[in-house]
Amino acid sequence: MAVYSIDVVAQLCGVNPVTLRSWQRHGLLNPRRDEGGQRTYTDGDIARAHMILHWVSRGVPLTQMRAVLSGDARQVSQGWQAQQEALLYHLEKHQTAKLRHLVWRYGREVPAENLVNDILRPLRLFLGASRRPALMQQCAMLDVAVIEYASFSMNGARKRAGAPVLLLAWQMKDNLELWLEAMRLVSEGLRVELLPYALAEPELERYEHVEQFFVWSDKPLDAVRQAQYNGWLEQGMAVTLVGGAANTVWLAPANSSVNGPLPTADSVLPEGNDDELADLSASG
């Protein structure tokens, strides 16, 4: 019978190892331990993990997951409103410690793609829509918690083997988008280094030990940036656009006057405690 390590299963499911450990804490997975004490998973465990992921990605809380998996739940809550309202409650009460623990809890329990796109981004849009001082203050509180979690995640990812990737921006209205993107890239198993401010003329050539570059731009590239981007590719550098420009960049093939689209990244976590937070960077 084939067995798999936690890192392999995380890669197969598209989640972080810490997410698998969180699902185990909720009694949803029961991996065995090898002689060295490391978790091992079977094909059945992987199939169950995919089933959990199916429901989690639809907003079903882990507290309801056992009933869902056993077929006993007649009615379960789906969507992300409950998670958004829980965060909003702590924001309105200015309970910064509880807010931080809840962000970190969702970081453990929820796939990064859903955490970023279905919970955090919509909530920040709501808080920033009216420009009311009270809501803007709450948005700032949320941003601090997000940055703390993203920083911790990136620090834990540095323990992984392999060369780092660099995330930076050409132009952006909201600097927190880079931190959200960093969370997403870390969940893909990458060692992310981040430059948190927009740079008009980034010099990627200076980063000799970086494996890949992710360059954020809110809007389509102008002629100057397009030429610089093409130049990086002609030098053989691995540069991927993220953000609004990801689906709009074009490259003229060599010896041709016809433009063609380039492949891009978009086209191609109850309160925790200190032990649980430390588990984010633990292995096995």
Element containing residue 216 per DSSP (H, E): strand 212-217
Contact 157, 185 (CB under 8 A): no
pLDDT value, residue 155 = 93
pLDDT over 90 percentage in the chain: 43
| Residue closest to 1 by CA, chosen among 45, 63, 36 | 45
* Model confidence pLDDT, tens digit, residues 119-131: 999 899 888 887 7
pLDDT band at 213 (very low <50, low <70, confident <90, very high): very high
* Model confidence pLDDT, tens digit, residues 120-173: 998 998 888 877 899 999 999 999 999 999 999 999 888 888 889 999 999 888
* Model confidence pLDDT, tens digit, residues 16-55: 888 898 899 888 898 999 888 889 999 889 888 888 888 8
- Read off φ and ψ for residue 260, nearest 5 degrees: -140, 150
* Model confidence pLDDT, tens digit, residues 80-91: 888 899 999 999
- Which residue has better confidence, 62 or 191? 191
Contact 210, 32 (CB under 8 A): no
pLDDT value, residue 204 = 94
pLDDT value, residue 281 = 47
pLDDT of 5 strictly over 80: yes
- Which residue has better confidence, 111 or 269? 111
pLDDT band at 193 (very low <50, low <70, confident <90, very high): very high
- Which residue has better confidence, 259 or 113? 113
pLDDT value, residue 99 = 96
pLDDT value, residue 269 = 38
Contact 107, 115 (CB under 8 A): yes
- Which residue has better confidence, 270 or 66? 66
- Read off φ and ψ for residue 130, nearest 5 degrees: -90, -15
Question: Range with the lowest mean pLDDT among 85-89, 100-104, 115-119, 258-262?
Answer: 258-262
CA-angle at 165, arms to 210 and 145, nearest 5°:
140
pLDDT value, residue 268 = 35
pLDDT of 248 strictly over 70: no
pLDDT value, residue 262 = 40
pLDDT value, residue 31 = 92
